[in-house]
Structure 1
Amino acid sequence: MATKVAVLGGGIGGLTAGHELASRGFDVEIFDAKKIPGGKARSIPVPDSGTQGRRDLPGEHGFRFFPAFYVHLPDSMSRIPFGPHGATCADNLIGVEAIEIARYDAPPIDLLARVPRSILDLKILIKEIYSHFLPLPMSDLEFFAERLWQVMTSCEERRYAELEPQSWWDFVDAENRSPEYQKFLAEGLSRSLVAARAQEGSARTVGQIQVRLADGMIRGGKGTDRVLNAPTTDALIHPWIAEITRLGGTYHSQSVITAITMEGDRVKSVTVQTPQGSSAIEADYFVCAIPIEHLDPLIDTGLLSAAPELQGVKDLAQNVRWMNGIQFFLTEDVKIVDGHTLYVDSPWAITSISEAQLWKHLDLSQYGDGKVRGILSVDISDWNTPGTFDPKKKAKDLDLQQIADEVWQELKRSQNVDGKEILRDDMIHSWFIDTDIEMSHSARPHPVANLEPLFINTPGSWKQRPKALTSIANFSLASDYVQTQTDLACMEAANEAARVAVNGILDATGWTGQKCRLWSMPMPDALRLWREHDKHRFEQGKPWDGRLIF
């Protein structure tokens, strides 16, 4: 009889674990709490929007972003068949050309440049990008370049010892510098694209992500920043579940885990609540891919006694922030830019992408009432700050119509510049806000809450975050909050964690075949000698100097 594995959670981590195990002959069952599969990665059809046999309009939790440093997830996608002609889900990834920085009442800036090979190169690059449109002194630009250079040329040991305990905000001295420095440099790409807030994220995490994002984008060309060529559920989630099913796995939706039961030093069963009732599910191994805020209440004294490191889950469960999407369905396709747009003057840190130009094989006339021709998909990353046009209330305190109005006004003020009117009110067919945002004054049943927030790596949190393999031999973790090389709450981290969890099961069961491949996530290889020099200095108790002299 095949070894049975229960995978708890059906997002990217759960799907990765289920896929890897089913492909190796394990008896796999995946239990997902949602009606629509895929966790935070899922598409969300706009309820009842389809008429006369058309599909509902394609909403999203937020647009999917596959930066160049993603390697684990694209590898999984390359092993998921798509369509009848030998393609895979990896073929649904398409590169975009640029990232646009949009500002209120000023022309946008498109970021494309070259790879810096020295501190001088980096200073020149930052000056080229920023000095011609920002009122920043050269001293600020050079200081920020030095901070990035320190991240790139510090050895791994120093990054853990010196950068991990402090915030990115403190590391780049943002508090003592101008609002322009804070907005464009300190917060930069990470605030909008990955919700890694400079004030709250560790300098190690945010610095590394800033470098990885910049390293990909400044190389230019296709592949540095990738998106899907169709709604996420169509391009990835449904094919993935179909492949797991073909391999013998089973996917259960609307299956909420309500309890984890121990027997001795192992997990015996989990209690699953479905619309049909409650039942106990037993298995040989359990892979937990539940978000941290939902796992927290399931960790009782029995689990903690067997795996004390799970206390870190309870301690960090509140380290979550909102990053959710709103889609504006338009009567015409507005291309804007071939890639993402960051709205640096937006108090809500909004980011957008025009989807229809990328979903070239999707006939939008077959969705909704047939009148939609464009989709402007927007992520809102800061829900705790008042807006520009309603400065008295935070985003999370507004009703859904007020949120939509504020975002649209911010978009227009940033895009309609120099006499151009790119966005008009009469373009709006309808809009849709992520259903994970629950408002008490809406028609939804929950109080004001975000049912799927995003985990934040706060200073010093690395040591509190558990590893994928726990002290309980048959219980592992496959979520984005665990310790990974990716080190960011994202799809890539969930995929990586799931691979480590699966490899643990393979080791425990004496598997002799190929294990899940794992990649490292180093800083730019061109600067390896600088980091080796710094490691030598670190071991001698000397400070970082950023040089290449032994």
Structure 2
Amino acid sequence: MLTGAAAAAVLAGTAVALPNVRVPSANAVPRPGAARGREVAVFGGGMSGLAAAQELIERGFRVTVYEPTYLGGKARSHDVPGTARGGRKALPGEHGFRFFPGCYQHVPETMERIPLPGGGNVKDRHLISVESAIVAFGQSGYAPLAAPASVIGAVQHLPALTTLDNVRNALTTGLKFVIDIPPTELAYFVNRELIIATSCTERRLGQWEKQSWMEFVKAKGKSAAYERYLAGALTRALVAAKSHTASARTIGQIGLALATSATGLIGQYDAGLVLGGIDKILNAPTNHAWIDPWVAYLRRRGVRFVLGEGVAEFSVAQGRIAGARLMSGRTVTADWYVSAIPMDRLKPLLTPALVHADPSLARIRRLQDDWMVGIQYFMSRRSTLPPGHIAAMGTPWALTGLFQAQPWNVDFAATYGDGRVHDCLSIDISDWDTPGILYGKNAKQCTRREIAREVWAQMSRAMNGGGERLLRSEDIVTWSLDPGVTWSPTIANATPLMVNTANSYADRPTAYTKIPNFFVGGDHVRTNIDLATMEGANESGRRVANAILDAADSPAPPAVVHPLWELPLFDPLKQIDRDRYRAGLPHILDV
């Protein structure tokens, strides 16, 4: 129980920012003789490019965004071609459903600054909480169960949560968990997360960054369920990372942020177990609710968008970027150049001249990416489950999902498609390298139709494990896989994302470089959130803007960059660990 000053300290929170991700602050008065150009060329119209454009245009810079394909990047949604009928909108497809956990700060703040016609802003009108979750399991013996995500969620969805089937499933699953994962192993897993919570920053970077999450939680020698669900599936469901390769520091730290925001004890996080907000989504397709209004706002402010054009080469002269050649052959010149393109497209642009000007950029080539792609099933029957995300734990392809009609509060049949579709089950596929249950092949070896059938088989086995047919094949009207996945002739993915493998932090670039007019944004840039997410990309765009403000000697106030927040009651333990780490001693709980 916390009272008085102790409670105030907890609510204040402790800021945790990573080293080497400093935010250059703008000078109050321009230095005489310094370059103060205002023309910015941003290459890439995804999350980081749009965030940088907003921060810069609002501070008096002239910004042009060059985007070869679609604005919004991996956050965009799209219309499924040829599905609109009778005055309705096309069925809503997407790269993957959106998830805004309570520890996100930059993205909601950006949404709050995007005005909408008729009043209000994107955050207030379109970002909503879902106060329940569905937990399912890809192994027989476990039954799916609905669980509240907050006290308000328990109240809102009490009838659905207290049905005989759900109570029976909860008891069945709980008993099997106790049998399969001994209490001592559950306690040990919690202890490992406590180690992260009480580790100093130096140990997190110097020791835990160099281990994989599977090594850190010491899954070897534990029960099969410990490795499958606690060490593996939980990581995949929350952050779409592979526990065998992901950095223990990254996984542990983001897990700590999610747990900390859920407590409601940190005032900087707009979330808590009582009032909810731990799990938020948009109440409409991403482009309709967010990306389109954002682009419209930036256009009104003066941002110029050049679509169908991407950068092909950065020209270097005398240690500076002298120009950028576009794919069309045209050359662009500006005062400041921003690479906000995905990592896989940046790597081919790392020419000897660019790397010679800043040798640290060569380390980007060592970074790895992975696939996380969505598929939507359009259903003739509306789901009766409480609205919330579905974590299909232990499915071979690491599936998570969301029924959209109920949380969107929309009549699907009247709004989308041809009138036959009443709901949409949007599923993210996070593992493309593990054999499935239907064809015995991994996703990269399958055809488009085989992927659709395999995903449905895995999700159905998990969701129907309690005996009730929550998913029925006969309800599928049609489906849509992210068009970024193509077969030409072999399978390819146009939108991979960087993965934080063990010891990869040193290889990731900062937003500023040694090239004085060249800056880097994207989910591969070092940030406080330290995970390849919309939040990380948005934070990187703000860091780019601040670095340009500093380089241009702008008197404008810097863009806000938020640290992660942790409970200050751990601070004394972190100091003890700092002393132990400097003395070469292990963490006091590392037994």
How does the TM-score come out when normalised to structure 1?
Answer: 0.91
Say whether 1:535 aligns with 2:588. Answer: no
Larger mean CA deviation between 466-475 and 259-268 belongs to: 259-268
**Partners of 2:130 and 2:87 in 1: how far apart?**
33
Amino acid at match of 2:97: F
Query: Does the Cα contact within 8 Å between 2:144 and 2:464 map onto a contact in 1?
Result: no
Bigger RCO of structures 1 and 2 (CA < 8 A, at least 6 apart): 2
**2:560 maps to which residue?**
517
**2:220 maps to which residue?**
175
**Aligned 1:73-472 pairs, distance under 5 A:** 73-103=107-137, 104-105=139-140, 106-110=142-146, 132-134=175-177, 135-217=180-262, 219-220=272-273, 221-273=275-327, 277-316=328-367, 319-361=368-410, 363-391=412-440, 393-440=441-488, 447-472=490-515
**Partners of 1:129 and 1:198 in 2: how far apart?**
27
Amino acid at match of 2:101: P
Q: How many residues align?
A: 523
Q: 2:549 aligns with which of 506, 522, 526?
A: 506
Please list the CA deviations of residues 146-178 of structure 1 after superposition, one character each: whole Å capped at 9, or x if unmatched.
Answer: 111101111111111110011001111113222
* Secondary structure, aligned partner of 2:408: coil
Say whether 1:54 aligns with 2:96. Answer: no
Query: Does the Cα contact within 8 Å between 2:522 and 2:537 map onto a contact in 1?
Result: yes
Structure 1 position 469, deviation (Å): 0.5
How does the TM-score come out when normalised to structure 2?
Answer: 0.84
Structure 1 position 28, deviation (Å): 0.5
Structure 1 position 87, deviation (Å): 2.9
Structure 1 position 77, deviation (Å): 1.0
**Partners of 1:56 and 1:20 in 2: how far apart?**
33
Query: Does the Cα contact within 8 Å between 2:433 and 2:442 map onto a contact in 1?
Result: yes
Please list the CA deviations of residues 44-97 of structure 1 after superposition, one character each: whole Å capped at 9, or x if unmatched.
Answer: 211122134432211000011111111011111110112312333453111111
Q: 1:463 to 1:89 in 2, by over 3 A?
A: same
Q: 1:476 aligns with which of 508, 515, 519?
A: 519
**1:121 maps to which residue?**
none
Query: Does the Cα contact within 8 Å between 2:143 and 2:173 map onto a contact in 1?
Result: no
**2:39 maps to which residue?**
4
Say whether 1:486 aligns with 2:529. Answer: yes
Please list the CA deviations of residues 310-331 of structure 1 after superposition, one character each: whole Å capped at 9, or x if unmatched.
Answer: 0111222xx1111000000111
**Partners of 1:114 and 1:146 in 2: how far apart?**
24
Query: Does the Cα contact within 8 Å between 1:13 and 1:497 map onto a contact in 2?
Result: yes
Q: 1:68 aligns with which of 98, 102, 124?
A: 102
* Secondary structure, aligned partner of 1:418: coil
Structure 1 position 114, deviation (Å): 9.2
Q: Which runs of 5+ in 2 are unaligned?
A: 1-35, 152-170, 264-271
RMSD of aligned C-alpha atoms? 2.2
**1:18 maps to which residue?**
53
Structure 1 position 217, deviation (Å): 4.6
Structure 1 position 190, deviation (Å): 2.6
Query: Does the Cα contact within 8 Å between 1:111 and 1:217 map onto a contact in 2?
Result: no
Query: Does the Cα contact within 8 Å between 1:479 and 1:498 map onto a contact in 2?
Result: yes
Q: 1:129 to 1:463 in 2, by over 3 A?
A: farther
Amino acid at match of 1:164: E
Larger mean CA deviation between 410-419 and 37-46 belongs to: 410-419
Larger mean CA deviation between 163-172 and 218-227 belongs to: 218-227
Query: Does the Cα contact within 8 Å between 2:111 and 2:121 map onto a contact in 1?
Result: no
**Partners of 2:262 and 2:467 in 1: how far apart?**
29
Structure 1 position 542, deviation (Å): 2.6
